[in-house]
Structure 1
Amino acid sequence: MTSEQASAATFNISVQPSGRAFTAQGDETILHAAIRNGVGLPYSCKDGSCGSCKCRKLSGSVVHKEHSDKALSETEEEAGYVLTCSARALTDVVLESRQVTDESAFPVKKLPVRVAALQRLSHDVMQVKLQLPAADQFRYHAGQYIEFIMRDGARRAYSMATAPHVQEQAPGVELHIRHMPGGRFTDHVFGAMKEKEILRVEGPFGSFFLREDSDKPIILLASGTGFAPVKALIEHIQHKGIQREAALYWGGRRPADLYMDAWVRERVAQMPNLRYVPVLSNAEDEDGWSGRTGFVHKAVMQDFADLSGHQVYACGAPIVVDSARAEYSAQCGLPADEFFADAFTSEADKQGA
């Protein structure tokens, strides 16, 4: 079959061991087809940068578009692994992905939103509250993200820091946006953006949400604004009365990076099963810091030599997420399918900078 013929064809994609199945057009990625069909494959960045969607190909043939070697190496590809966000089917394909859930994904929608409030949480983190159209029942899992669609079609993704039940009181979501100097979108957020501004978004996206069919204790690992979706998870856990043991490890360089430290401590006081360990990597003498120091993912390993009976939910800088994924599996016995992640890739990350 020529590449032109493959692009015009339709292929059957099945996922084991869940038995979920869907069809994919030859000109779309397998992940795009899964989202379109409401099948919850794991993913995060959608552009071949982070590796969250990597799974094993049991049979069939695919072709990959350009992607990061870090997300999928040549050796891994030769061993039969694929990135569903970058792979197009050339034949019917059978994949193995143990993170597929039986619950269908919520429908992805494009909708206008209004900036309801802006508040600086630190010198470089802005809390942006968005008002959603009341008539639009925007449904999502705590931990998922939305994408802003800019006028030229470019997109910027941000995790929602509010749990879905908040919609019952006021249709809206909260985002935590870090200023990246020179970044077109974040320069606007920290400069010209005003309340009542209308923006266009699409979502929900992502497979970073709590698996409620497990009773395993939970490790929540966040670096920087990776706390945003973790905050939504904590709100969800509290709202649902989930009694699983949970420990939040939140890492930053200096105390200001833990920009909602007081909020976390309030939740710890209300939730007996939640423990909080803040960790700083570059504390200065003037900070008067007496807490944990070093790399936040290492702090988890110091406290949990054996993670074989846990679930880990990690979000933040790719170096933190990638290191945790590799080291928790190799050194702490964490099963690969019990690590759920959302790596925050910047435009520079995506371009290989």
Structure 2
Amino acid sequence: MSYTVTLKKSGRQFQAEADESILAAALRQGVGLPYGCKNGACSSCKAEIVAGEVDQGPHAASALANDEKTRGFALLCCANARSDVEIDVREVNGVGDVPVKKLPCRVSELVRASDDAMIVRLQLPANERLQFLAGQYLEFILKDGKRRAYSIASSPHADGPLELHIRHLPGGVFTDHVFGAMKPRDILRFEGPLGTFFLREDTDKPVVLLCSGTGFAPIKAIVEHMIFKEIRRPVTLYWGGRRKRDLYLAEAAQRWAAEHAHIRFVPVLSEPDADDGWTGRTGFVHRAVIEDLPDLAGYEVYACGAPVMVESAQRDFTAHHGLPADAFFADAFTSAADLANPI
């Protein structure tokens, strides 16, 4: 049995089967809706159910609060239609034009960027080239069918291997493998590109790029894309870590700022070591944005990293500092542990 899903803003309609999520139905039919993890651990696909009924499946408590459920919100990645429904959600243009592929790849290089960050470069088959939007991610398909998602750090125009930045989560099956047994020439398989985290190019608004840890990866891709396309919107990049070594490619960000007058780089440490000799900004990285830019009404914000950072930024920026809700774009990193703890 199928139901009709109507998008309130555009009036566009598509069909959703009773046994598939509304997001899956939209993606199957080329309808661009915002999403991130696709499994209820982030809030990127949150939408208001204006009319009709849905069955909301399991999800992480941080992704959809109880009061939001009471007000009629749902996560489209785990909500199945139970009648014809009308939803109020931001549509995403451009994603449907990029084909999603399943491809083999070969590990071409492993570079230890810090004690817990590895730069992994992947070589595609000679006759393949992955088309993607700067900021999107791919999912490794493991031998047991499980998946692990990582943002693409290289920019779409770049020749050569795809670049990923992988943080070690001790006890994590895949990251333990990356930091232990993985070696050049290993063969992996992935699906991509995925996600709706990419630069919107239909505006001249100044941009705040906000990241923590290896959330720098898609931000790197976005900055390099902007430089290549000569997009000169003012950009302020805030990168947060606990210690100085967590900002593992700070030299690249400093170089962008030195070479391009419209780019500013603000590194922020929350717990610098005594031997870091740190004289820069300290505290929570999203608070540094607020200190510098108390009025965000005219900005776009792109945030990537730990879910707590992304959630705090979205809440504070939109509730207290004037940022329009539709000008906040996010990709919250979720681990297997996050996915194992639904409501």
8 Å CA contact 1:40–1:105 kept in 2: the answer is: no
User: Could you state the TM-score of these two structures normalised by the residue count of structure 1?
Assistant: 0.94
For 1:349, the equivalent position in structure 2 comes to 338
SS in 2 for 1:349: helix
SS in 2 for 1:85: helix
For 1:241, the equivalent position in structure 2 comes to 230
Deviation of residue 82 (structure 1)?
1.2
Match of 2:155 among 163, 168, 182: 163
For 2:6, the equivalent position in structure 1 comes to 14
Deviation of residue 76 (structure 1)?
1.2
Match of 2:261, as an amino acid?
P
Give the alignment of 1:266-281 within 5 angstroms: 266-281=255-270
8 Å CA contact 2:268–2:280 kept in 1: the answer is: yes
Q: Which whole-Å CA distance do the structure 2 matches of 1:75 and 1:241 have between them?
A: 44
For 1:282, the equivalent position in structure 2 comes to 271
Give the alignment of 1:62-101 within 5 angstroms: 62-101=54-93
Q: Which whole-Å CA distance do the structure 2 matches of 1:103 and 1:113 have between them?
A: 23
Percent identity over the alignment is 54
Match of 1:317 among 306, 309, 314: 306
8 Å CA contact 1:35–1:105 kept in 2: the answer is: no
Q: Which whole-Å CA distance do the structure 2 matches of 1:257 and 1:102 have between them?
A: 33
Match of 2:143 among 130, 144, 151: 151
SS in 1 for 2:264: strand
Match of 2:190, as an amino acid?
V
For residues 281-305 of structure 1, the C-alpha deviation after alignment (integer angstroms, 9 at most, x for no partner) is: 0012211000000000000000001
Q: Which whole-Å CA distance do the structure 2 matches of 1:58 and 1:261 have between them?
A: 45
Deviation of residue 106 (structure 1)?
1.7
For residues 33-84 of structure 1, the C-alpha deviation after alignment (integer angstroms, 9 at most, x for no partner) is: 1222222211111111111110111212110111122211232122111100
SS in 1 for 2:176: helix
Deviation of residue 23 (structure 1)?
1.9
For 1:181, the equivalent position in structure 2 comes to 170
Q: Which whole-Å CA distance do the structure 2 matches of 1:91 and 1:138 have between them?
A: 38
Structure 1 unaligned segments of length 5 or more: list them: 1-8
Deviation of residue 105 (structure 1)?
4.6
Moved more, 11-20 or 181-190: 11-20
For 2:45, the equivalent position in structure 1 comes to 53
Deviation of residue 20 (structure 1)?
3.5
Q: Which whole-Å CA distance do the structure 2 matches of 1:12 and 1:173 have between them?
A: 39
User: Could you state the TM-score of these two structures normalised by the residue count of structure 2?
Assistant: 0.97
Give the alignment of 1:225-264 within 5 angstroms: 225-264=214-253
Structure 2 unaligned segments of length 5 or more: list them: none
For residues 244-265 of structure 1, the C-alpha deviation after alignment (integer angstroms, 9 at most, x for no partner) is: 0010000000110000001111
8 Å CA contact 1:310–1:338 kept in 2: the answer is: yes
Deviation of residue 99 (structure 1)?
4.4
